Amino acid sequence: MSKAMLVVGIILLAIITFGAVNIIQNYQTGNELDYYLLKETAEAAMTDAVDVGYYRLSGLLRIDKEKFVESFIRRFAQNVSNRRTYDIGFYDINETPPKVSILVKSQTAAAVQGEAMDITNKVDVILESNYYENKLVTDMTRSGELDYSNVDNNK
């Protein structure tokens, strides 16, 4: 009888251990996937939101806030898991220089005493380039006559 109880105890301990490992692995994998998804999506959305006309004129990068948010949410929604609920927060969006701060919260499938375990990831993304100064645009802006017809003549 004592050997049978020992076997039952070992089997019960193994089941509890496998359950704990599964919960921890689910949390770690979800955290890692959310972080890389957040980072890559933010970079791609910033590239989509670059104001090309402004860059062509001045050589400085500027993003459009509304276009960035739209592109980010569309890209993020295409790649997330349908089994979790996500809460996206945009905390700082600067148009010039382009910088965004995004916080994404999600919940895992595991729950402890009715409370779901939250995964929180925050990323700050700054878009940079090799800046140059377009002398013609600078001179036209200073003189007060910003005529865009001759911008491509002096690069």
pLDDT band at 40 (very low <50, low <70, confident <90, very high): very high
Per-residue pLDDT at 5 exceeds 90: no
Specify the pLDDT at position 67. Answer: 93
Residue 26 backbone dihedrals phi, psi, to 5 degrees: -60, -45
Per-residue pLDDT at 26 exceeds 80: no
Return d(Cα 40, Cα 23) in angstroms, integer: 26
Return d(Cα 23, Cα 25) in angstroms, integer: 5
For residues 97-110, one letter each, b for 16 or more C-beta atoms within 10 angstroms of the residue's C-beta and e for the rest, the string is: ebbbbbebebbbee
Domain parsing of the chain, residue ranges: 2-153
pLDDT band at 29 (very low <50, low <70, confident <90, very high): low
Q: Answer whether 0.85 is exceeded by the pTM.
A: no
pLDDT tens, residue by residue, 115-132: 767 778 899 998 887 766
